[in-house]
Amino acid sequence: MVSIQFCGGAGSVTGANYVIDNGKIRFVVDCGLVQGSSEADEINYKPFVYDPKSISFMISTHTHIDHIGRIPKLVKDGFSGEIYSTYPTQEFAEISLRDTVSIMEHDHSQLPLFAEEDVDKAVAQWRGKEYHEIYEIDENISFRFQDAGHILGSAITEIWVLDPETGKRIKLVFSGDLGNVPSVLLRKYDYIEEADYVIVESCYGDRIHQKLAERKEILKQAIKDTIDRKSVLIMPTFSIERTQDILYELNDIVENHSGEGLPQGRVGRIDVYLDSPLAIKATRIHAKYTQYYNQEAKQLAKTDEIFEFPFLTMTEHREDSMKINSQPQPKMIMAGSGMSTGGRVLYHEERYLSDPNNIILFVGYQAPRTLGRRILEGENPVYIHNHPVENKIEVRKVDGYSAHADKEMLLDWLSHIKQTKNIFVVQGEQEASESLANAIKDTLHITAKVPEENQVIILS
Ligand SMILES: [Zn+2]
C-alpha cells in the first residue's frame, strides 16, 4: 500500500510538506516554513505529525523558505537521512537557512526554531543531483528532477514508488513551484509525459499574469517618475530569482534602452542600491550557474556582466546599508524581505512610507497579514518595529514578475501529462486552489481535489 499525507501546503501557500510511505520506506518531499498567518509560528513550533526518525530520505524541490525552512527542525528532531536536490538548490539552501537562523536569533520574542548546528547537520546531509537523470534510492524508490523554471535550480520531481503488495510502480509527479513563462533568465518548465498522480501548486491558480513587456514598462515608469519627483523608489525583493531578474532588466534598460522615455537618456541618473546580503550572495551563485539559463540569457552572459551596471551599489555590510539614508535622491532601494516580514527593507519603509512622493513597487506575492500586504492594501498606519508609521507612499504593483505560473500555464503544463488518475491541488490560498481544481475538472476532465491539512490518501 502506498500513501501520501499532506502535512503542509494543503489549502495554504506556504509550509509545503508531504510524506510518502509504501510500508517499507517512508520519505518526505519539501519541509517548508509556514509564513504569513497569525497561527504560522504556532504551527512551525509544533512537533511534526510523523516521527522524523522514521524518515529515510527527503527531496527538496527548490530553495524558497516555504519549501525548505523547517528542514533543520526535522534534523533537530531526529531525521538523519540524505536530502536530495539540484546543485543550485543545495547552494542556495545553505545561505538561505543560515540567514533564517540569524533572523531568528535576532528575534528575541521567542526561542529560535533551530540553531546553526542544525543547519550544519542539514548541509552535511545534502546531496546535489543533476536534472534529467534517474536516481535509484533502492528497489522501492527512484526519482528524476526536471526543470520547473521557477527559480534557479527549481525542480519538478518525478517519483516512482513500488507498491510491495501489487508489485506495481506508482508514479507521482510534484510540480514543486512552477515557473512563469517566459522567464527573464530561466528555461521554460519541462513537460512531463505521464503520471498516475500529480501534486500541483496553485499560488496563482485563479489569476492570469501581466505580460513580460508590460511589467518592464511598469518598472521603467516607476523609475522615470521617481527621477522626475527626485524621490525614493522602494522595492521589497525576494533574494533569489526576482532580484536577479530585476537586475538583469535594469542592466538591459541601462545598456540597451537608455533614452526610451527616460529623462536625458539615462536610467543611470538614479542610484540603485541592492541592500540585502542574502540577495547579493544569491546573485553570485546565479552568476556561476549559467548552464541553467535560457538561450538568450546564456548568450548575453558570455559577453556581459548581466547583473551589474553603472550606478548600482551592493551594500553587503550593515555600515554601508545605513549610509543609504543620507545618499541624495532620486534613489532606488531594493531590499529584503520580499513580504516585509523582516530584514533591512523595514528600516527603509520606516523612513520613507510617510511621503506620498515616494513609490513602493511590489514585485511579488504578498501573503495575508504580512506588512507587505498591509502596505499594499493601504492600511494606515502600519506598525514597524512596534511603532506606528504613516502609510502614505504611492503603491504600485507588478504581477508579471511573479516566479509562479498563472492559471493558463498551470493548465497548459497539466494538459501534457497523460494517464493521470488524480490531481491534488496544493500550495495556494483555498480559493485559488479550488478555482484551479474546478478548471482542471472542466477543461481537462481529470479528477482534481484540494486535500485537507494532514489528510492521508491511499494511492493505487
Ligand atoms: Zn517557490
The answer to whether the CB of 59 falls within 8 A of the CB of 84 is yes
426 C-alpha to ligand 1 centroid (Å) = 13
Distance CA 169, CA 377 (A): 48
Q: Which fold has domain 212-397?
A: Rossmann fold (3.40.50)
| Distance from Cα 304 to the centre of ligand 1, integer Å | 28
- Mean pLDDT, rounded, for 268-288: 91
Instruction: For the chain, give the mean pLDDT.
Output: 93
Q: Looking at domain 2-207+403-459, which CATH architecture does it have?
A: 4-Layer Sandwich (3.60)
Q: Where in the chain are the domains?
A: 2-207+403-459, 212-397
> How far apart (Å, rounded) are the C-alpha atoms in residues 117 and 105?
13
Q: Which residue has the cell 532606488?
A: 332
CA–centroid distance, 328 to ligand 1, in Å, is 35
Segment 405-433, tens digit of pLDDT: 999 999 999 999 999 999 999 999 999 99
Give the pLDDT confidence of 19-71 residue by residue, as tens digits. Answer: 999 999 999 999 999 987 778 889 999 999 999 999 999 999 999 999 999 99
Instruction: Show contacts of 342-349: CB within 8 Å, 24+ apart.
Output: 342/103, 342/107, 343/103, 343/276, 344/275, 344/276, 345/234, 345/236, 345/237, 345/275, 346/371, 346/384, 346/385, 347/321, 348/232, 348/234, 348/275, 348/324, 349/234, 349/236, 349/375, 349/384, 349/389
CA 421 to ligand 1 center in whole angstroms: 26
Q: How far is the CA of 153 from the centre of ligand 1 (A)?
A: 11
What is the C-alpha separation between 317 and 275, in angstroms, rounded? Answer: 9
Q: Tell me the Ramachandran region of residue 30: left when phi exceeds 0, alpha when psi lies from -120 to 50, beta otherwise.
A: left
pLDDT at 112 over 70: yes
From the CA of 16, how far away is ligand 1's center (Å)?
10
- pLDDT(266) > 60: no
C-alpha 447 – ligand 1 centre gap (Å):
25
How far, in Å, from the CA of 62 to the mean position of ligand 1? 7
Residue 110 pLDDT exceeds 90: no
- Distance from the CA of 233 to the center of ligand 1, in angstroms? 25
Asked if residue 88 has a cis previous peptide bond (ω within 30° of 0), the answer is no
State the Cα–Cα distance between residues 460 and 455, nearest whole angstrom: 16
Question: Mean pLDDT lowest for which of 83-87, 200-204, 238-242?
Answer: 238-242
303 Cα: distance to centroid of ligand 1 (angstroms):
30
Report how far ligand 1's centroid is from the alpha carbon of 255 (Å).
30
Cα separation, 41 vs 403, whole angstroms? 25
pLDDT tens, position by position, 319-356: 999 999 999 999 999 999 999 988 899 999 999 999 99
Ligand 1 centroid to 97 CA: how many Å? 15
C-alpha 164 – ligand 1 centre gap (Å): 33
What confidence category does residue 267 fall into, taking pLDDT thresholds of 50, 70 and 90? low
